[in-house]
């Protein structure tokens, strides 16, 4: 019987496992090469650099916009 569950691959940016589709939609993953993502070798599909790239996009956490409930 075939395994239809989404394959999960470790995300070096968020330090969690994510399904392949999430990696394909990530701005740091090269996005179009499913085989590379499914290999699990992040160097083949991920361009995130912890020394210069943000983990999340949007407003900085200390802005007044984030203090509203």
List Cα–Cα distances, 53 to 1, 8, 46, 50, in angstroms: 42, 23, 12, 6
In a domain, 21, yes or no: yes
Q: Is position 64 within any domain?
A: no
User: What pLDDT is attached to residue 9?
Assistant: 94
Report the pLDDT value the prediction gives residue 33, as an integer from 0 to 100: 86
Domain containing 1: what range? 1-48
In a domain, 58, yes or no: no
Position 1 in a domain: yes
The per-residue pLDDT for 68 is: 46
20 in Cβ contact with 9 (< 8 Å): yes
- 6 in a structural domain: yes
pLDDT in tens, the chain (69 residues): 556 666 899 999 889 999 999 999 888 887 678 899 999 999 999 988 888 887 666 656 665 554 444
Q: Is residue 2 part of a domain?
A: yes
pLDDT at 57: 61
Total structural domains in the chain? 1
């Amino acid at each position: 019987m075939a395994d239809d569950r989404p394959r999960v691959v470790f995300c070096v940016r968020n330090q969690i496992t994510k399904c392949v589709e999430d990696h394909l939609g990530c701005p740091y993953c090269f996005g179009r090469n499913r085989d590379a993502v499914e290999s699990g070798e992040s160097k083949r599909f991920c361009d995130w650099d912890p020394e210069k790239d943000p983990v999340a996009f949007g407003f900085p956490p200390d802005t007044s916009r984030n203090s509203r409930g």
